Amino acid sequence: MSHIIAPVMALKPSISSDIIRGHIDAIVLALLSKEDMYGYQICKTIYQKSQQLYELKEATLYSSLRRLEAQDLITSYWGDEVQGSRRKYYRITPQGREAYEKCKADWEFAKKVIDMLI
């Protein structure tokens, strides 16, 4: 993870760990607010929904899920797969929905302020 500002050579914009930081939980809550999902599925869905522009790393997702569950913003349960790998599903809680609304408001706010300054 390099925090050094990329050299000018690299013209293609990118999403650094530092820029995405603080948005992972909101992104996960956003998906779970639509339907229950399992971890691997969350990663793949984010990749698709971002039009292949952003790939959430598995380690990052699982640490986010652990954090959200500890805060009671999501709960989890094992799926009943008869074949294939077992799947652990996550469901958003009512508090999770409220936190998600707060995250969205914070994002709109941050966008406004950063746009003022950049």
Give the binding site for its own copies (CB under 8 A): 3-6, 8, 10-11, 13-23, 25-27, 30, 46, 49-51, 53-54, 67, 71, 73, 95, 98-99, 101-111, 113-114, 116-118
Partner touching 94 among DNA, its own copies, none, CB below 5 to 8 Å by kind: none
* Tokens, residue 110: 């941050």
Partner touching 102 among its own copies, DNA, none, CB below 5 to 8 Å by kind: its own copies
CB of 34 to DNA, least distance (A): 17
Closer Cβ to DNA, 3 or 112, answer by number = 3
CB of 82 to its own copies, least distance (A): 32
Q: What does the DSSP assignment read for the chain?
A: ---SPPPTT--S----HHHHTTTHHHHHHHHHTTS-EEHHHHHHHHHHHTTTS----HHHHHHHHHHHHHTTSEEEEE---SSSS--EEEEE-HHHHHHHHHHHHHHHHHHHHHHHH-
Return the CA Rg of the chain.
16
For residues 51 to 90, the per-residue mask of contacts with DNA, x marking binding by CB under 7 A and - elsewhere, is -----xxxxx-xxxxxx---------------xxxxxxx-
Q: What does the DSSP assignment read for 65-77?
A: HHHHHHTTSEEEE
Contact set with DNA (CB under 7 A): 1-4, 16-18, 20-25, 38-41, 44, 56-60, 62-67, 83-89
